[in-house]
């Protein structure tokens, strides 16, 4: 392959990754990608046989590079704690080099060809096994299940990378490494989670048929992606004719907006209640984390859609959603800095986003559904990351 052809392929992959992240796989055509690099759609097919390859190739390259660098880190040897730290530094570097691709793996993997998806899942299962052997040498009291849980949660927090500010992104490496290690090496969880007192909410959640529609839509959006789901699909899922949905929501975009607004309202309400509980910063942070964990585990479909599908909301409908997401992040940053005033706003934001992703990684995984004390273990890892003494800046 000539240098010019290789450069064109790289440009196409970069452009498609950026567009898929912004609009979702279903919202991007080959012509859109071609337009980004100044060529015709037919010229794209000289380099790639179709749109799915534009999605799968960068993801596959990242996952295989991740595996190869893990193997090199292990091959260097050393005592178990040194190896664990080297593994952590290695994978943080991989994701910081490819923020858009991390986002694709996180939110568009269900569009990958089945054979590619199965291959990459097998590679990551093997990788988790390598990490587990090292972690259990450092923490021999952990059984295989506890070790895997910590590793998947710790690596899951790296899903925050696509939403971190791109300016000085590589400078986030020490913070992310600290958060990963603190999660892996966290102490046992609290015996029980703190709970917010019962207070009547200003805005009630949807009920009746509207609630059924939102639940059915959330399930489908999570498993297939927003663009792959039609109104008729949602209607069929809840046993009504698709067009009947229009008597409740004027469009599919309005339905998605209502679903995400309801989730955001629930989280913001919990955040405001946690901050209003008193002057003990440690208790406030624990309440905030515990409330988020309970919300995420109680409705895995909704929390997944809130995290991965919000970019599909049209700009004219999404103002409230954007405001709520920022307000909720601000609640976390305030709680973290009240307990850790030495941390900068940027570090507190990165830590907060990372811990939310840790929680969502657990909630999205069917591997841990029904595990005993899952909420307590998840909250314990999150709090260990946020309160790690090594966190600085």
pLDDT above 60 (res 122): yes
The pLDDT mean for the chain works out to: 90
Categorize the per-residue pLDDT at 198 as very low, low, confident or very high, splitting at 50, 70 and 90: very low
User: CA 334 to CA 340: how far, in whole Å?
Assistant: 10
Q: Domain check: are 260 and 113 in the same one?
A: no
Count of structural domains within the chain: 3
Categorize the per-residue pLDDT at 3 as very low, low, confident or very high, splitting at 50, 70 and 90: low
Cβ burial 80-114 (10 Å sphere, 16+ → b, else e): eeebbbbbbbbbbebbbebbbbbbbbbbbbebbee
User: Which pTM does this prediction carry?
Assistant: 0.89
pLDDT above 90 (res 76): yes
Q: Domain check: are 321 and 219 in the same one?
A: yes
Q: Domain check: are 312 and 253 in the same one?
A: yes
Tokens of 62: 């990242």
* C-alpha Rg value of the chain to the nearest Å: 22
Length, in residues, of the chain:
393
pLDDT above 90 (res 166): no
Q: Domain check: are 138 and 227 in the same one?
A: no
Q: Rounded mean pLDDT of 319-330?
A: 90
Position 159 scores a pLDDT of: 94
Position 205 scores a pLDDT of: 60
Q: Domain check: are 128 and 253 in the same one?
A: no
User: Each residue of 93-104: pLDDT tens digit?
Assistant: 999 999 989 988
User: CA 112 to CA 311: how far, in whole Å?
Assistant: 19
Asked whether residue 334 is assigned to any structural domain, the reply reads yes
Position 61 scores a pLDDT of: 92
User: Each residue of 255-280: pLDDT tens digit?
Assistant: 999 999 998 888 999 889 888 887 79
User: Each residue of 131-157: pLDDT tens digit?
Assistant: 999 999 999 999 999 999 999 999 999
Residue 360 buriedness (CB in 10 A; 0-12 / 13-18 / 19+): buried
Q: Domain check: are 270 and 348 in the same one?
A: yes
Q: Which domain holds residue 143?
A: 61-184
Q: What is the CATH number of the domain that holds 21?
A: 1.10.10.60
pLDDT above 80 (res 182): yes
Q: Rounded mean pLDDT of 353-377?
A: 91
Q: Which residue has the higher pLDDT, 194 or 33?
A: 33
What is the residue-wise DSSP string for 211-230? HHHHHHHHHHHHHH-GGG--
Q: What stretches of 165-251 show up as alpha helix (H) in DSSP?
A: 173-184, 208-224, 231-238
């Amino acid at each position: 392959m000539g240098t010019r052809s290789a450069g064109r392929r790289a440009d196409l992959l970069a452009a498609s990754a950026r567009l898929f992240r912004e609009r979702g796989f279903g919202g991007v055509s080959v012509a859109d990608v071609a337009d980004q690099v100044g060529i015709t759609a037919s010229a794209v097919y000289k380099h790639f046989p179709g749109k799915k390859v534009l999605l799968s190739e960068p993801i596959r390259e990242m996952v295989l590079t991740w595996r190869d660098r893990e193997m090199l880190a292990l091959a260097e040897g050393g005592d178990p704690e040194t190896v664990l730290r080297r593994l952590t530094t290695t994978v943080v570097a991989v994701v910081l080099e490819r923020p858009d691709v991390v986002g694709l793996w996180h939110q568009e993997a269900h569009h990958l060809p089945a054979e590619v998806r199965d291959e990459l899942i097998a590679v990551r299962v093997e990788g988790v096994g390598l990490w587990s052997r090292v972690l259990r040498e450092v923490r021999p009291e952990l059984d295989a299940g506890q070790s895997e849980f910590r590793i998947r949660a710790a690596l899951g927090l790296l899903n925050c990378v696509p939403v971190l500010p791109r300016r000085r992104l590589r400078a986030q490496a020490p913070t992310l490494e600290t958060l990963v290690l603190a999660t892996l090496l966290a102490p046992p969880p609290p015996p029980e989670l703190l709970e917010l007192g019962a207070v009547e909410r200003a805005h009630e959640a949807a009920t009746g048929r509207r609630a059924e529609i939102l639940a059915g839509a959330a399930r489908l959006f999570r498993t297939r992606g927003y663009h792959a789901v039609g109104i008729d699909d949602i209607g069929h899922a809840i046993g009504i004719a698709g067009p009947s949905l229009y008597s409740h929501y004027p469009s599919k975009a309005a339905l998605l907006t209502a679903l995400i607004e309801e989730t955001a309202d629930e989280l913001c309400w919990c955040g405001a209640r946690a901050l209003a509980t008193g002057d003990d910063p440690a208790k406030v942070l624990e309440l905030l984390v515990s409330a988020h964990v309970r919300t995420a585990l109680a409705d895995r479909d909704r929390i997944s859609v809130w995290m991965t599908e919000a970019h599909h909301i049209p700009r004219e409908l999404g103002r409230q959603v954007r405001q709520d997401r920022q307000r909720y992040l601000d609640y976390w940053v305030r709680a973290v800095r009240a307990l850790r005033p030495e941390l900068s706003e940027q570090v507190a934001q990165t830590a907060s986003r990372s811990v939310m992703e840790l929680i969502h990684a657990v909630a999205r995984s069917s591997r841990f559904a029904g595990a005993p004390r899952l909420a307590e273990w998840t909250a314990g890892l999150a709090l260990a990351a946020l309160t790690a003494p090594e966190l600085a800046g």
